[in-house]
Amino acid sequence: MTLTLAALTVSCGGGDDAKASASASAATSAAPSAVASAPASPSASASAGGASTASPTAARPSAPAAGSPSGAPGEEPVSLVRDAFAGLQATLNDSCTPGNCAYFLGRVHDELHRMDRAMKADPKGPGHFPEPINLIAKLDKQLGGDRTFENLKKNQTTLIATRDKVNTWMQGHPDDYR
């Protein structure tokens, strides 16, 4: 029936828009029967002319689960703070050894800034984390935007002290990251 209607519309000289609409209508109305009769297995589907039987929504990736590290919309902000704090704590047992110093200092710097971003994104607002945010701001002022190893090494004492003070503050506020 739809094919007849589409053919009639095309023969009446409806122009290119009518032809495109008719083709789309014919394809749409034919698709349900093709999907219903198509084989279930992917290999059988491929051998049947390469037609896919998957629905358009099946190809879309699902949204990340709450608490995922991606920072995607829908992620619980408390998990951002929790994950950032875990990253910061992972630096506690490391130190600036000759072969590891540049990596270590860079990681401490990065983890502090990850923590800063997470606290500022928390629904309680940045005012809920005043001391850690101020400590990181003070560190940034001292570093002057220079994140090179030489500058981090020169300011190593302040960098490590900032990490330790943020860690101590967070330990005293367990409801903010659990």
pLDDT digits (tens, 9 = 90+) for 85-106: 999 999 999 999 999 999 999 9
Q: Which two tokens stand for residue 54?
A: 């998957």
Q: Tell me, what's the pLDDT at 155?
A: 98
Looking from the CA of 177 toward its CB, the CA atoms found within 13 Å total 22
Give 178's pLDDT tier (boundaries 50, 70, 90). Answer: low
Percentage of residues in the chain having pLDDT higher than 70: 54
Q: Tell me, what's the pLDDT at 142?
A: 97
With a cut of 70, say whether residue 161 has pLDDT above it: yes
Give 170's pLDDT tier (boundaries 50, 70, 90). Answer: very high
- Top pLDDT among 63 and 126 is at 126
Chain position carrying tokens 């710097």: 109
Which segments of 18-84 are extended strands (E)? none
With a cut of 50, say whether residue 9 has pLDDT above it: no
With a cut of 70, say whether residue 6 has pLDDT above it: no
Q: What is the pLDDT of residues 108-158, one digit of tens each?
A: 999 999 999 999 998 888 888 999 999 999 999 999 999 999 999 999 999
Chain position carrying tokens 């200092």: 105
Q: What is the CA radius of gyration of the chain?
A: 29
Percentage of residues in the chain having pLDDT higher than 90: 47
With a cut of 80, say whether residue 49 has pLDDT above it: no
- Top pLDDT among 57 and 122 is at 122
Give the integer Cα–Cα distance in Å for 86 and 92.
10
Do 171 and 132 touch, CB atoms closer than 8 A? no
Give the max Cα distance, the chain.
83
- CA distances (Å), 72 to each of 59, 65, 80, 82, 176, in order? 19, 9, 10, 15, 20
Average pLDDT, the chain: 71
With a cut of 70, say whether residue 167 has pLDDT above it: yes
